[in-house]
Structure 1
């Protein structure tokens, strides 16, 4: 089984790429964010540790994590972000390793781990290759404002909190340019998969 890590800045179009790889090549997709969200549901160890660290003011009226409030705290404060990551990332890594073992038993050919923080969290150590989805920042900004309804400040904060292109390039085995039409991206993906 090939384990591929896919990373890139927010708004790079990673989700569309994952859907394509799943639909065309039967790749098993594991999104670290989705794993993290599941592990932070009310009643989990992660949830309890986050509330202990950040206080009950980060909860909504149902007693679940208010992700926007938490994001507001951690995106603008490196120390608080590190505290949150220290709680969440070890649990996510453990769950991803469990999923990999399960897929290996099922003889899966292609297992993809997607994470914007793949390099920072060292998930790259689990992967045979790392693919970087590149889109220039101005296009990512537009996508986030139009498709997710984020305001310009939120977009700037998120982009500023992520690794610069140079760091992605240094750590990745392949680059997928997703700045143009998705048909062009598909051609790149087909070439890469054929090369595996």
Structure 2
């Protein structure tokens, strides 16, 4: 005899839990390797993976199951990348920049739409500014770590890397501008939807 089938929400929660377990695994491996980049990024990833819960509670929002999984995967890919894929897989950095940019773009898109504004300039402007600030922070952290003789938690590879990072950030923003109305409708009030 078989029991009831689990709902999509139950399955998504199990998947989300598994992904968070993956982030914890990165943290453990980082500790064992004494890899500060993996430790810091996994710790921040775990904190960021809890944001959907905080936002739902504080702002009376409801994430769809796939949205929670999507956001948590972004945290895992970034943390896991610190264990080697950023150095060994040529497209890993492009993937994580695009993925992270879709998360930031989604937030900006939903806030703009809830305020009855055209989200396009807000999404492009915020993603471009945050992308530049991120690259500047990455550069400062890398140079400071080099001067102190410690392993950096973030790495700038080259000027071309910076340009590619910004291009893929803007690709993430463009994806949200194209698909945001359909994929983020649960965060947009009915009164502010486009006709």
TM-score band (shorter)?
A: under 0.3
Q: Greater relative contact order: 1 or 2 (C-alpha under 8 angstroms, separation 6 or more)? A: 1
Greater fraction of residues in helix: 2
Greater fraction of residues in strand: 1
Greater Cα radius of gyration, structure 1 or 2: 2
